[in-house]
Amino acid sequence: MKLLAVRRLLRIQSVVIRYRLDDLIFEDLPLLPWWLRALRFLLPWRWLPRRPLALTRGARLRLALEDLGPIFIKFGQILSTRRDLLPDDIACELAFLQDKVPPFDSDLAVALIEEQLGVSIAQAFSRFDRQPLASASVAQVHAAQLKTGEDVVVKVVRPNLKPVIRQDIAWLFVIARLAERLSSEARRLHPVEVVSDYEKIIYDELDLLREAANASQLRRNFEGSSLLYVPQVYWDWCRPRVLVMERIYGIPVTDLAALADQRTDMKLLAERGVEIFFTQVFRDSFFHADMHPGNIFVSTRQPWSPQYIAIDCGIVGSLTPEDQDYLARNLMAFFKRDYRKVAQLHIDSGWVPAETKVNDFEAAIRTVCEPIFEKPLKDISFGQLLLRLFQTARRFNMEIQPQLVLLQKTLLNIEGLGRQLYPDLDLWSTGQPYLERWMRERVSPRRLLQDLKAQVEQVPHLAGMTRDLLERLSQPHAHDPPPPWHRRDERVLRAIGSLLLIAAGSLLLTAPAAWPAWLMGATGFYLVVRR
C-alpha cells in the first residue's frame, strides 16, 4: 500500500509538470506570500528547458484534473460553478468536467453491464446505444430501451476506480494529520474528520444500489411537486455497478439560450431552486448534495412555471434534528439581522469558546454580513465575503463542523447556480418566508401532537429499558465506579430519562392512578438529575 501511495504521488507530480500547473500558481506573484514565491526557484523541473504548450491555461487545468481521476475531477466540478471566483476562460473549461469527461471504451462498458445483469445486452434491452450520452468522474451513461418499451438510461461505473481513490484518500489523510500536528489553525478546521467524511461519501458513490435508493427516496419526497421531478428507478435492472432509470428530456440548466428561447421564467426558476434547497434540508432532512449543473435539467412542459429535474443522487446528506434546529435559528437571526443572537447561538452550541465576549463577536459578524444585505447576487463579491468570514473564524477560534461540510458544499452549488440563472436574485427575501413557515409548523398543535404520539408509541420499549435499569441499580455493585461505556453514554441515559418523563406524563393524563407511569416518571427524573 505504501509503495502504491508513493507511485501515486509521483504520478500527481508528473501531471503537474506535464501541464505546467505550477505556472498557474505563480501567475500572480505579488499576491503570493514570500515563502511561496521563493519555492518557485526550488522546483527542479523549472531549471530544465521546456517547450511551450499549445493549450490555454483552462484546458491545461481541465486535462490535468481528468488525468488525475475522480477526486480531482469533483474538485474541478465544484470550482466550475464559481464563476465569480474564477476567470471566465478557466470556468468555461472546467464546466466540461460536469458531464463531458472522456468516456471509457464502449466494449468494456457493455461487458461490465452484461456481467452485472447476468444476461446479454440483447436480452435486457430492445435498443442500446453504444455511444455514451454523458460521462463524468465516476460513471458514464448510455441510452437504451427496455423490452417493455420504456426509454431508459443505463449508468455503469468506471473500471478500476477504487485503487486510485484509495491512494488519493491515503495522501489526503497524511496531509490532514500532518496539518493537525503542525498547526493549531488546522486543528480548528478538523481536516481529518472532513477527509474521513469525504472518504465515506466517495466510496458510497461507487455503489449504484445506494444511488438508486437515494433517487427513490427523493422522488417520493417530491411526488406530485411542481418544484422538482426525479426519474423513476427500474429496480429489476439495478446492480451495485449498474443503474437503470427513466430517461428524462429536459434542457440543461446551464443552457441559458435554450431556456430563453422557450421563454422560461428565469426569476421564478432561480427562486424555486432556493425553495427546493430549503425544502430538502428542513422539511425532509434529505438533500441532493451533488447539485452541480451537469446533474440538473429544466422541464420543457411549462416554461412559465418551470420545474427542475434532478439526476445522479449518488451523494445525499441529512441533518440531525439538533443541527436542523440550530441552523434554522441561526438563519432566522441572520435574516432579521439579529447579530447578537447569531453570536450567542454560536457560543451556546460550542462553535466558539465559551469565554468569547459576545459583544465583540456580534460586532465582527455585523461587520462581515451587513454589507451584503439588500444586494442581488451579482453585486456580492463572494470571494471577499469568504475571505472575511475566514478571518473572523480565525480571530475567534471558531471550529469547523464536519457534519455540515456537505451542506455547505451544496449551498455553494445552489448559490453559484442562482448567480448564473438570475443574477438579480435576492437570496434573503427568497429564503426567509420559507424558513419562517417551517419554524411555525414545528410548533403547531398538529406537529406537537404527532411528536407526542411518537413518544407514546415508545412506551413499551422504554418500560423494558426502565426495568433493566432498575435491576442494574439494585445489584450489589451498583455503586461501583461506572464502566467506560457508562461514562461515554451519560448524555444518552439523560435523554432516555427525558423520554421516560414525557411518556409518564402522557400516561398520567389518561390514567392518573397507573403505577407504571409513576415508576417511569421517578426513574426518568433520576436519570435526568443524576451526577
Q: Which residues are annotated as catalytic?
A: 290
CA neighbor of 320 nearest in space, from 402, 409, 397: 402
Q: How many CB atoms lie within 10 A of CB 28?
A: 8
**Residue 87 CA from chain centroid, whole number:** 25
Chain centre distance of CA 260: 30
**346-348-354-359 Cα dihedral, nearest 10 degrees:** 60
Angle between the N-to-C axes of helices 162-182 and 2-18, in degrees from 0 to 180, rounded to the nearest 10: 90
DSSP state of 227: S
Cβ pair 135, 99 in contact under 8 A: yes
The half-sphere exposure of 282 on its side-chain side, counting CA atoms within 13 A, is 24
- Give the separation between CA 465 and CA 519, rounded to whole angstroms: 12
Characterize the bridge pairing of strands 308-310 and 228-229: parallel
Q: Supply φ then ψ for residue 400, to 5 degrees.
A: -75, 140
Contact 98, 293 (CB under 8 A): yes
What is the sign of the dihedral through the CA atoms of 502, 507, 512 and 513? Answer: negative
- Residue 86, classed as helix, strand or coil, is coil
d(CA 175, CA 171): 6
Nine cell digits for residue 99? 458531464
Those residues with Cβ within 8 angstroms of residue 388's Cβ, 6 or more apart along the chain or in another chain: 367, 368
Helix (H) or strand (E) holding 209: helix 208-221
